[in-house]
A and B are shown apart, each in its own frame.
Chain A
Amino acid sequence: MRSLPSTTLLIAFGAALALAACAERASGPPGAETVTIAVIPKGTTHEFWKSIHAGADRAARELGVEIYWKGPQKEDDRAQQITVVEDFISRGVDGIVLAPLDDRALMRPVRDAVREGIPVVIIDSALQGGDFTSYVATDNYQGGVLAARRLGGLLGGQGRIFLIRYQEGSASTVQREAGFYDTVTAEFPAIELLVKDQYAGATTETAYQLAENLISRFPDVDGVFTPNESSTFGTLRALQESRLAGRVVFVGFDSSPKLVQGLRDGEIQGLVLQDPDKMGYLGVKTMVAHLRGEPVEKVIDTGVVLATRENMDTPEIKALLTPGPTAIDD
């Protein structure tokens, strides 16, 4: 009689699995001939990836293809992203749209996919080698250039500024920093870079600490540039704490509700924005075009724009500043 409860447990377990299966299958679209495309982001919980998802979904609806949206189980885990790519190769999808977590570690699974006849479109971050069909991403260098022109223009071409870097080895932010640095030195020679080799680190907290330390060392700073969301927010917090927010010209990168508020309050003078929705959209669209035998560009730029207090309420900028359901519907 002891075996009874354990049998019950096993049955319950089986039922739970079956239930999960049914629940999902009911919502899955039928049709064996639909083109299926796996879209593999770096993570699934960040705002940025949700916008990419929205764009990919929109392209899928327009073009009549089915997409599987699946990131590594743990955000930013390279090994798990490789596993996801391999599983979709096994599954035999028609194409893979991938935002590689590592420009090198994902080379082998991408080559495996291509060898199995599954084309791969790379989005967001670069991949070494040339196995992929197309590379759809933001021109990050251009983003740095935009930020430098905004900052230099507002400062009237002179003053003392910080270039706060994000993290060593992060390709996209390194390009933004290079674009900023090159433009400042070339177009605004009178501007002095007080700091140009300090790294904010991965989190808001580390950025906050760095900015605090820099401000206490150079309290008379005139301008600041930061290359991503966490460094921008951390620096904004530090500027607010030291009552410098609004008195220092501050240009950052990316968007979040807090940064939008900072822009509205005049504490941030500019935010360079990528267009993740367009990136997801063009990623899927490029893949479908390739699958239908149309020629596609090897590199596709999804553009950057500068949001300021003046233009932040125009529909285009607003959609980029506050992504989410509103962005999916139009």
Chain B
Amino acid sequence: MSRRRQAGVSRALNVFGPFIGLILVIALFALIPEVQGRFLRAANFKSVATQSVIVALGALGMTLVIISGGIDLSAASNIALASVITAYAINAGAAPLAAVVLGVLTGGLVGLANGGLVTRLRLVPFIVTMGMMGIARGAAKWIAGNQKIDAPMTWVNELMAKSPRPSWLLLAPGIWLVIIFAVALAVALRYTVFGRHIYAVGSNEATARLCGVRTDRVKVLVYAVSGLFCGLSGVMEFSRLTVGDPTVAVGLELDIIAAVVIGGGSLSGGEGSILGTLVGVLIMSFLRNGCTMMGWPNYIQEIIIGAIIIVAVALDRLRHRKD
């Protein structure tokens, strides 16, 4: 096999690998007669898409972090904190829009703190964000007084409604937000200087610095943007639950990271794509949905998702050995 052909195969695998997984998962349930009629209905796809919004928003930010060679373990706690802040603000009589902005900014602030600590203290992102995971979760429980916050229903709770109002939206507003931000991020990653710098920092930080990239600034920005997405995701979590729950989304950061990795992101940095990440999110959502529809016990879907993560990373390694 010629070198060029190898490169072609490798690129094809890069782009289509995650898609093959998604098609396999959908095909699997579409072929089971017991559920196929129900599984393939538009209403079910809409339901799966709505369920994916929270992980997807978190994963968009996480994609940037992982491309830059970092990791954000505080994502899920950040989501819980933002959802509690939003509920708290609405409960305290703030205008819903102000509460939403506050929730998103809270997420951004946590991200900013992550970025600042990683760059200023020269600490490993794993450690900084692991610490922040506890801090944000604790803060959420503190603010909520160790219980959930019941907030009055407002339009914020319509953001994740399966049947949106107005009905011409077709999909829940949350899904549209994911689509809009995904396109924006994909464009930014590919065509803006900031986007290229993220890849440069993740591929080889020292070289990037020597080439004049202000690596610290790039990293702080990346964590801050990731935090903003977690904040938005937290608002969506509140919208879905209709209560601010400080114990929600425990362990969700691993789902988010898994989505990025299944979608072709490399934990050693420099690689990953928005499209791949979204496919990764959908693979896991469709698996959950299909397994539940079949009435399969939870351990089956845990085993399958675990296997998929290993297969995805194995493919990732194969690609790297080639380079």
Q: Are A and B a genuine interacting pair, yes or no?
A: yes
Give residues in A with beta carbon < 8 Å to B. Answer: 1-3, 5-6, 9-10, 12-14, 16-18, 20-21, 24-25, 28, 38, 44, 68-71, 73-74, 76-79, 82-84, 86-92, 102, 104-105, 107-108, 112, 167-169
Q: Pick from B6, B150, B311, B314: contact of A2, CB below 8 A.
A: B6
On whether the beta carbons of B295 and A70 are closer than 8 Å, the reply is yes
Task: Tell me which of B111-119, B128-136, B213-221, B237-245 binds A.
Answer: B237-245
A78: chain B residues at CB < 8 Å are: 241, 243, 245, 248
A90: chain B residues at CB < 8 Å are: 38-39, 41, 43-44, 47, 289, 293
A10: chain B residues at CB < 8 Å are: 20, 24, 311
On whether the beta carbons of A77 and B248 are closer than 8 Å, the reply is yes
5 contacts between A and B (CB under 8 A): A20-B303, A20-B304, A25-B32, A83-B51, A108-B157
Give residues in B with beta carbon < 8 Å to A. Answer: 1, 6, 9-10, 13, 17, 20-21, 24-25, 28, 32, 34-35, 38-39, 41, 43-44, 47, 50-51, 54, 145-148, 150, 157, 161-162, 237, 240-243, 245, 247-251, 288-289, 292-298, 300-304, 307-308, 311, 314-315, 318, 322
Distance in angstroms between the alpha carbons of A17 and B147 in the assembled complex: 40
Q: Pick from B44, B240, B315: contact of A6, CB below 8 A.
A: B315
User: Which residue from chain A places its CB closest to the CB of B83 in the assembled complex?
Assistant: A79
A21: chain B residues at CB < 8 Å are: 28, 32
Q: A14-B24, A91-B35, A104-B150 are in contact. Are A79 and B237 (CB under 8 A)?
A: yes
B297: chain A residues at CB < 8 Å are: 44, 69-70
Q: Pick from B43, B237, B249, B292: contact of A70, CB below 8 A.
A: B292
Query: Which secondary structure dominates where chain B touches chain A?
Result: helix
Q: Residue among A12, A24, A87, A169 with the most chain B CB within 10 A?
A: A87
Q: How far is the CB of A182 from chain B (nearest CB, A)?
A: 23
On whether the beta carbons of A25 and B28 are closer than 8 Å, the reply is no
On whether the beta carbons of A83 and B288 are closer than 8 Å, the reply is yes
Q: Pick from A2, A88, A169: contact of B147, CB below 8 A.
A: A169
Distance in angstroms between the alpha carbons of A107 and B240 in the assembled complex: 11
Contacts A70-B298, A112-B162 given; 11 further ones with Cβ under 8 A? Answer: A2-B322, A17-B304, A21-B32, A25-B32, A25-B34, A76-B247, A79-B245, A90-B289, A92-B38, A105-B242, A105-B245
User: Which residue from chain A places its CB closest to the CB of B247 in the assembled complex?
Assistant: A76
Q: Pick from A9, A14, A169: contact of B314, CB below 8 A.
A: A9
Q: How far is the CB of A60 from chain B (nearest CB, A)?
A: 12
User: Which residue from chain B places its CB closest to the CB of A169 in the assembled complex?
Assistant: B147
B314: chain A residues at CB < 8 Å are: 9
B9: chain A residues at CB < 8 Å are: 2-3
Q: Pick from B1, B38, B148, B150: contact of A91, CB below 8 A.
A: B38
Q: How far is the CB of A164 from chain B (nearest CB, A)?
A: 17
On whether the beta carbons of A69 and B295 are closer than 8 Å, the reply is yes
On whether the beta carbons of B311 and A9 are closer than 8 Å, the reply is yes
A107: chain B residues at CB < 8 Å are: 242
Ranked nearest first, the 9 interchain pairs of A and B with the lowest CB-CB distance are: A68-B295, A169-B147, A87-B292, A90-B44, A91-B293, A105-B241, A3-B9, A73-B298, A13-B311
User: Which residue from chain A places its CB closest to the CB of B315 in the assembled complex?
Assistant: A6
Distance in angstroms between the alpha carbons of A307 and B315 in the assembled complex: 58
Q: How far is the CB of A250 from chain B (nearest CB, A)?
A: 26
B288: chain A residues at CB < 8 Å are: 73, 83, 87
Distance in angstroms between the alpha carbons of A319 and B322 in the assembled complex: 63
Distance in angstroms between the alpha carbons of A72 and B9 in the assembled complex: 40
Q: Residue among A2, A5, A18, A88 with the most chain B CB within 10 A?
A: A2
User: Which residue from chain A places its CB closest to the CB of B24 in the assembled complex?
Assistant: A14
Distance in angstroms between the alpha carbons of A1 and B5 in the assembled complex: 10
Distance in angstroms between the alpha carbons of A16 and B295 in the assembled complex: 18
Distance in angstroms between the alpha carbons of A30 and B50 in the assembled complex: 31
User: Which residue from chain B places its CB closest to the CB of A91 in the assembled complex?
Assistant: B293
A70: chain B residues at CB < 8 Å are: 292, 295, 297-298
